Every structure is written in C-alpha cells, then in structure tokens.
Amino acid sequence: MSNLSDNAGAETMAHQQVIPAKGMPVSNQVKITSEIDLEVVEGKMLSEPQADCPVTHRFGPNIYIRELVMPAGTLAIGHAQKFEHLNIVLKGKVAIVDGDQVKIIEAPATFVGAPGRKIGYVIETCVWQNVYSTNETDIETLEDTYLVKSQVWTEKNAKNVKIETASRNEDRKDFLKVIKGAGFDERTVRLQSENKSDQIPMPSDWAEFVSVRKSEIEGKGLFTSWAINAGEVICPARLNGFRTPAGRYTNHSKQPNAEFVKLDNDDVFLVAMHDISGCKGGGKGDEITVDYRQALMLSGVSIKEVEKA
C-alpha cells in the first residue's frame, strides 16, 4: 500500500449494518476475519509511514460529529467503538472486512455502526462522519467515552508522548524566562490566560483546521487537523478584541512554527512560519507554537524587557 494508517478517526471501521444498496458483499471468503489478529496487523501498520487523515470535530446542541478524511490507497484499522452510533459517508468508497465477507461502502450512505472494530481499504478518497449524542466538547474525554484503544497503540502512543514531553523541556524553561523578563509571574499569566471574559469560540469557517488537545508542553495546546504550508493563515487568534481558542491555548516555543500577525483593525491571526503536519495515523497533528516574545511585542511590551534565552 502507498499509505498505511492506524487512524484514531477510523473508528468508522466498526461493524456496520449497511443499507443493502450500499453494502452488498464483493467476496465470500470463509471465516475471513477469524485468522486476522488485528493487534498484530495494527503493530505492523504503526511501524510504517502514516497517512494524512485529517479529523474535524464538529459540535452542536447535544451532538458531536467526528469527521474523518481518508485518502485513496489507505489501509485503515479503527479503534474499537464502545456503543452503537450513527455513521454518515459523505464521499468516497471503502472496502470493509465484515464478518466472513468484504463489503463495499459507497457514498452517500447512512447506517448504524455496532460496537467493535474493523479493517478497511480506501478505494476512493472518503469523508466519513461518526455522530454521537452528547454535550461534551473535550476531545480526550470524548475518546475515553466512546473508544477503546488497543494495547499496542496505547504503548506506542505513551512512548511518543514521553519522548515529546522530554524534548519540550527547553521550551518550558524559556517560557519562565520570558514572563520573568516581562515582569510577570506564573500565577498572573495563568489567571490572564484563563480569564473567560474576553474569550469566544473559534469561528466556524476556521474550526475544522485546528483542535484543542492535551499538550506535551503545558496543559492544553492548539493542534493542526490539516497539513498547513509555510506562510498560510492558520486561524484568527483575536477578533474584535476577543480571544479565540488560538489566542487562549497556543503555547510558547523557542523554535516556533507560527507567529501572530496583527492587522490594521487590531485583529490578530496565526500564520505558519514553517510547514506543519496535520493528523497522521491516529495522531492529533503537530502542536502550533509561537514565541511569546513576539506576542508580547504585539501587545506593546518592549522586547528589551524580555530576557533572551
């Protein structure tokens, strides 16, 4: 395969009760799944380069939609679903191993997926939505509620988190130098950051490109769902004097991949300084970071007041 993906969003591969017109079997191999150890397959897939599979998180009153884009040529294996849930295939075609058959799921299709997990091959680039009834908006909480992640995936992810956390030590140290040089302390900075009086949701036109997730730098951070090229506008950080999640959650780095750009009307946008990767193989995408020195300058704090690392 040109792309191999163990994608967190590919929980859409769970056992499906497809409508007959879109779920006719294309093969009838006896006990096709009984000889497949999905964790063994998953372990091999995780050792391969991971496919770009952007995941968009959409929220409405008592509804959460997890929208996954899987490129053609991708082999996808999903985390196990805990509960039945609505599936909507907006675009594309996927071959799914279902019991002792391989079935073609082709858009447009709507059906209920049963608990469990499956493996599938993407024949045509696919846009697949999982729909849940909930008012929860924290992505980690949603994943814990609806998904069961395998031991092999969990162990590999824990290893990656440990490595990433250690690699961010210098960023955390530099953050302390920045705020000290600017005359602030950690408590003051945290109170200002968490102040909800000047915060607004991310405008819908931009919401699909980023998500707020647990950060290996500090607390929660802003992550890319889609790959972003250097020089591209990522999303607004401040609009009409109010902070979006980008203004609230973007963490500091000594080697940032983005910067804040202020417009003539004082709105502030986040712009990529380097290419930034989106969601790959079940990951949450790259964390978007800025140098807080540059952010302080935009706020009128002289760079001379900020201690350089």
**Domain harbouring 183, CATH code:** 2.170.270.10
**Residues facing 76 on adjacent strands:** 5, 120
- CA–CA dist 261, 243 (Å, integer): 14
Tell me, yes or no, whether 126 and 179 share the same domain: no
Residue 9: pLDDT over 50: no
What pLDDT, on the 0 to 100 scale, is given for residue 255?
A: 96
Tell me, yes or no, whether 186 and 240 share the same domain: yes
Average confidence (pLDDT) over 234-247: 97
Contact between 68 and 107 (Cβ < 8 Å): no
179 found inside a domain: yes
- The mean predicted confidence, pLDDT, of the chain is 86
- CA–CA dist 1, 97 (Å, integer): 17
Which residue among 87, 118, 148 closes a domain?
148
Tell me, yes or no, whether 186 and 113 share the same domain: no
- Residue 259: count other Cβ atoms within 10 Å of its Cβ: 16
Tell me, yes or no, whether 24 and 129 share the same domain: yes
Contact between 83 and 18 (Cβ < 8 Å): no
Tell me, yes or no, whether 109 and 221 share the same domain: no
Q: What percent of the chain has pLDDT over 70?
A: 86
Higher pLDDT, 126 or 22: 126
Residue 71: asked if its preceding bond is cis (omega within 30°), the reply is: no
Tell me, yes or no, whether 113 and 52 share the same domain: yes
What pLDDT, on the 0 to 100 scale, is given for residue 183?
A: 86
Residue 5: pLDDT over 60: no
Q: Indicate the SS3 state at residue 308.
A: coil
E strand or H helix that includes residue 132 = strand 119-132
What pLDDT, on the 0 to 100 scale, is given for residue 147?
A: 93
80 backbone dihedrals φ, ψ, rounded to 5°: -75, 135
In the block, which residue shows the tokens 């006719």? 24
- CA–CA dist 14, 118 (Å, integer): 5
Tell me, yes or no, whether 64 and 114 share the same domain: yes
Tell me, yes or no, whether 108 and 237 share the same domain: no
234 found inside a domain: yes
- CA–CA dist 257, 285 (Å, integer): 13
pLDDT tens digits along 196-218: 999 999 999 999 899 999 999 99
Q: Indicate the SS3 state at residue 226.
A: coil
158 found inside a domain: no
- Residue 96: count other Cβ atoms within 10 Å of its Cβ: 22
What pLDDT, on the 0 to 100 scale, is given for residue 229?
A: 97
- Residue 151: count other Cβ atoms within 10 Å of its Cβ: 10
pLDDT tens digits along 163-196: 999 999 999 999 999 998 988 889 999 998 999 9
- CA–CA dist 127, 55 (Å, integer): 10
pLDDT tens digits along 67-108: 999 999 999 988 899 999 999 999 999 999 877 789 999 999
- CA–CA dist 250, 252 (Å, integer): 7
DSSP of 258-306 = EEEEE-TTS-EEEEESS-B---BTT---PEEEE-HHHHHHHTT--GGGS
Tell me, yes or no, whether 299 and 171 share the same domain: yes
| Closest C-alpha to 178, from 251, 266, 273, 262 | 251
What pLDDT, on the 0 to 100 scale, is given for residue 81?
A: 93
Average confidence (pLDDT) over 215-229: 96
12 found inside a domain: yes
What pLDDT, on the 0 to 100 scale, is given for residue 10?
A: 37
200 found inside a domain: yes
How many domains are there within the chain?
A: 2
CA 154 to chain centre: 16
- CA–CA dist 309, 301 (Å, integer): 17
155 found inside a domain: no
The reported pTM is 0.83
120 found inside a domain: yes
Whole domain around residue 57: which residue ranges? 3-148
- CA–CA dist 209, 227 (Å, integer): 9
**Domain harbouring 91, CATH code:** 2.60.120.10
Which residue among 118, 148, 178 closes a domain?
148
23 found inside a domain: yes
